[in-house]
A and B are shown apart, each in its own frame.
Chain A
Amino acid sequence: MPVIELSLSGRPKSARVVGIDLGTTNSLVAYMSESGPEVVRDENGNGLVPSVVFYESDNDRLLAGEAARDNLVFEPRKAIYSVKRFMGKGSADVQEDLSLVPFKIAPASEHVIGFEMGDRVFTPPEISAFILRELKKRASRFFGEEVLQAVITVPAYFNDAQRQATKDAGHLAGLDVLRIVNEPTAASLAYGIDKRNEAVVAVYDFGGGTFDISILKLKDGIFEVLATNGDTHLGGDDIDNRLITTIVDDVERCFNRSLRGNPELFQVTRKAAIRAKHQLSTDDRAMIEIKGNDQHEEYRREITRDEFNELISDIVERTLAPCKQALKDLNLAPEQIDEVVMVGGSTRIPLVRDKVKELFKREPHLEVNADEVVALGAAIQADVLAGGRRDLLLLDVTPLSLGIETMGGVVARIIHRNATIPTSAAEMFTTWVDYQTGIDIHVLQGERELVDDCRSLAKFTLKGIPPQPAGLPRIEVRFLIDANGILTVSARDQRTNQEQSIEVKPSYGLTDDQIEKMLLDSFEFAEEDVLKRQLIEARNEAETVMRAAEKALVEHPRGLIDENEQLGIRRAIDELRQTVGTDDTQLIREKTTALDEKSHHLAELIMDGALVAAFKNRKASEVAEG
C-alpha cells in the first residue's frame, strides 16, 4: 500500500476528461486514445471494477471493487452491492429490495437511505463515491496524473433525484462531473460513431439493475434521441433473485433448516445461482452445487435452459411494455426501426434476444462487448466536452414529464416527457392572501394525473415577496432542465425585475450541507485522503524547518558561517517557499530535506555555541558560588 501512495503523490492535475459507467454490478472507466475510445484496465487486463464496497472494521476503512467483492462471501453484513438501486430513494421505496439483500437500514432513512455497516452509517452516494474513487485511482495511475473530470452515465429512465444522487457521488469522490449521460445514448455513440448513414436505431439496454429503451435518429453526426422509456427497477438482479429464491427454498428443504439469519450461506447460494445463470447463456443445462457448513450438507441440482426460461419469462416480458410505449410515443411501427442494438449484461440471455427479435421483427445487433460499450460511449462524449471534437453532438431528452401541484392534488404538466434537453418552461405565480410574502411550489415527475401517483421532486418556497394585496404580485418561475436532465428553478418578480430567492427542499436526496459534511467525514477513510494528509504533514514540516532556518540566520549570523553559506541557506529557503504552495508532496519533502542539509552546519554551530554559552554560564555561576 505505501508504495502506491508514494507513487501517487505529487502527480500533476490532469485536464483529461474520462468516461465512467457506474453500473449496478460492475463499473468501468474509459478514455479517448489516438485510435478511439478505450477502457482502462488493470495489470491483468481486467476492465471491470465490481460495484461492491466493504467496510473493514478493524482498520476502520472502506474497500471498493475486487477486494470488496472477495470479502462479500465471508462477511456479507459489512458489504454493500447493487447500491445503484438505492440511489435517490427513501426507505419506503425499497422495502422489496431490502427483503432480498442482507443490508441493514439505519433509522431516519425516509429521504435518504442510510446503510449500517459495522458501527458506521453510509448513504448510497457515499458508497457510490467509493466505487468512483476506485475508478479515479485506476485512471490516475494509468495516466500518471490525477484525473479530476468525468462524464458519468446513468439509466435513461433515472429521475431527477437519482441523477442528482449520482452527481453528488462524483462530487464526494473528488470528481468534477461535467455531464450526466444516459446509458443507451452513450451506447449509441459508441455504436454509431463510424456510421455516416441516416438511420433510426433502437437501443435495448438491459443491465444489472435497470432497463432502458431509447430510440434515436442518427444523421450527420447528430445523435438525436426521439423517445426513451424504461424501468429503473428491472434488471439482471431480478433474474438472480428469482433463481436464488427458488434455490433457497430447495436448499432449505434439503438441509432442513432456514437460511434466514445465515448470510454467509445465502451469499454462497447467490454466487452459485449467478454462475448457473451465466452458464445457461451458452449451455443447455447447468449444475448447481452448494456445500453447507458441515460436511454432510450437500445440495446438487441440475437446471435446464427451458426451466430457466420459464422461471424468468415474466421478467423479460416486462421489458417489452416500455419498448411498445416508446414506439407509440413516436407513432412508429417496429418495422420502421432500422437497427436494434443490444447492450447490458442481461442481453446475453438467449430468451431476452428471442423476445426482442420477436417484438422488432428483426435480428438484433449484438454488441461485441455488451459490458463495455456504455463506458466507451461515455469516453467519446467526454472527448466532445473536453473540446476534442465538434463533429458529434448528442441531443437527449427528459424521460419523465415535469409538473407542479395545483388545487385538489392534481398535477399540471409543464414539461412533457421526451422533450429535447436543455428545455425550459415558465409559469406565473401570485399570492392568494393579502400581504402574503411566500409561495410554496411542489414539483413532481411522472406521467400520472394525481400528486400521489407521481414522484415528488422538491418543494420550492419563493421568499421575500413584498407584502401586497392578494393577486397583485407577479412572480415568474422558470423551470429549466439542463443537459444532464437535472432541474433548476429560478424566479423573477415581474414588477421589479428582481431575482426572487428560493428555498429548495429536495424530497429525496442530500442537502448541500449534508454533502459538505460528508466531504469532511470522508477524509478519514479514503486512501486518496491519506495523500492529502501526507501533503498537509509535508507542508507543516516544511514550515517548521523554514522557520527554524530563518530564525538561525537572524539570531546567529555573525562569525559563525561565511557569506556563501548564508546565501546557500537563503536560496534553499526560497526554493522551499516556492514549492510549499503546490500539491507536490514529493517535491516539498525533497526541498525540505535540501534546506535541512544546507542549514545543518549552522544548526550544529549554534548548538555548539549554545553549549559553550551554557558551560560559560555554569562556570560563571560556579565561580560566583565559589
Chain B
Amino acid sequence: MAEEAVNTGRDLSCICAHCGAAISAVHFCSECGKIQILSPDVDHFQFLELPRKLVVDDAALEKSFYSLSRQFHPDYFMSATELEKRASLERSSRLNDAYRTLRDRIARITYLLALEGYKESEKKAPPDLLEEVFESNMAIEEIKAAKRLSEDNVVVGARLSLETALDGLQQKLGEIDGQLTLVSQSWDDAVDQCAEQNRKTILLDRMSELLSHRSYIRHLVRAIQEEL
C-alpha cells in the first residue's frame, strides 16, 4: 500500500490506438506522437504526474496546466481524426477538472480522502465548541422570531450576541486551517518516508474530522451572516 502511494507513475503502458505501438508514454504515443485515449483509472495526481501529496507549488501547477492545455486543447485538433478529437476532448476536460481540484487546498484534501476510500465528510460540530454552537443556534432562532414580531430591542440584543459568536467562529476557522496545514505537511512527510499504513490512516482520519468541523462552522457562519 505504502509503495503504491509513492509510485505515482503506475504502469500505464498500453497499445496506441492510432499506430498499434506498445507505449509507456503518458499523454502521447512515443511512436507516432498522437494523443492517447484516456484510461478512466488514472487519478488527478497521476494525470498531472504529481505525487499523491498535499503541499503543492501553485506556480508550478499553473505552469503545467498551461503547458498541457496547449498540448490537449480541442482548438488544435480541428482537422484531426475523430479518435484524436475524442482523445483531445477527454484529456482537456480531465485536465480542467484535475487543475480545478488540485489547485484548491480544501478540494485537494477532499479529493485525497475520496481516493483513500473515505466517504464525503458530514458536517459535525467540533466538541470543544458545542456550547458556542448551541448559543449561536439559539440566537439565530431568537433573531428570526424577533424579526417576525418586529421586536426591535430583542433584535438588537440578539444581533450583538451573534456578532460576538461570529468573531469566535471565524477565529476557530482560522485555527482549523492552521491544523489542516500541519496535517498536510505530516502527510507529505509520511509519503516521503514510505510510512506504515496505520500512521497514514491516523492522518487521514484527522483530515476527515477537521473537514467535517470546518464545513459545519462555515455553514453556521453563513446562517449567522444571513441574519445580520
Contacts and interface: CB of A to CB of B under 8 A. Distances in A.
Interface of A: 178-179, 219-220, 222, 384-387, 390, 393-395, 419-424, 480, 482-483
B70 interface: yes
B99 interface: yes
B66 A422 contact: no
B121 interface: no
B78 A422 contact: no
A579 to B, nearest CB: 28
Contact of A393 (B69, B79, B97, B99): B69
Contacts of A421: 93, 96
22 contacts: A220-B66, A222-B66, A222-B69, A385-B75, A385-B78, A386-B78, A387-B78, A390-B76, A393-B73, A394-B75, A395-B69, A420-B99, A421-B93, A422-B74, A422-B92, A423-B93, A423-B96, A424-B94, A480-B89, A480-B93, A482-B74, A483-B74
Interface residue tally of chain B, by bracket? Answer: 10 to 19
Contacts of B219: none
B97 to A, nearest CB: 6
A390 B96 contact: no
A384 B69 CA distance: 14
Contacts of A419: 96, 100
Contacts of B78: 178, 385-387
A423 B97 contact: yes
A24 to B, nearest CB: 27
Given A222-B69, A384-B75, 12 more contacts: A178-B78, A386-B78, A387-B78, A393-B69, A393-B70, A393-B75, A420-B99, A422-B93, A423-B96, A482-B74, A482-B89, A483-B75
Contacts of A423: 93, 96-97
A390 B70 contact: yes
Given A420-B99, A424-B97, A387 B69 contact: no
B134 to A, nearest CB: 27
A435 B92 CA distance: 38
Given A384-B75, A390-B76, A394-B75, A424 B93 contact: yes
Nearest to B93: A422
Contacts of A420: 96, 99-100
Contacts of B100: 419-420
Given A424-B93, A424-B97, A219 B66 contact: yes
Among B66, B69, B93, which residue has the most Cβ atoms of chain A within 10 A? B93
Contacts of B75: 179, 384-385, 393-394, 483
B140 to A, nearest CB: 19
Interface string B96-123: 1101100000000000000000000000
Q: Which of A179, A393, A422 counts the most chain B CB atoms within 10 A?
A: A422
B26 to A, nearest CB: 19
B223 to A, nearest CB: 15
A134 B99 CA distance: 42
B83 to A, nearest CB: 16
Identify the 8 closest CB pairs spanning chains A and B, nearest first: A422-B93, A420-B96, A424-B93, A385-B78, A483-B74, A423-B96, A423-B93, A222-B66
Nearest to B40: A426
Nearest to A390: B76
Contacts of A178: 78
B96 A422 contact: yes
Contacts of A387: 76, 78-79
A421 B97 CA distance: 9
Nearest to A222: B66
B141 to A, nearest CB: 22
Contacts of B70: 222, 390, 393
Contacts of B73: 393, 395, 483
Interface string B5-32: 0000000000000000000000000000
Nearest to B74: A483
A413 B70 CA distance: 29
A385 B94 CA distance: 21
Contacts of A422: 74, 89, 92-93, 96
Interface in B29-82: 66, 69-70, 73-76, 78-79
Contacts of A483: 73-75, 92
Nearest to A219: B66
Contacts of B89: 422, 480, 482
Nearest to A220: B66
Contacts of A222: 66, 69-70
Contacts of B93: 421-424, 480
Nearest to A420: B96
A310 to B, nearest CB: 33
Contacts of B99: 420
A172 to B, nearest CB: 22
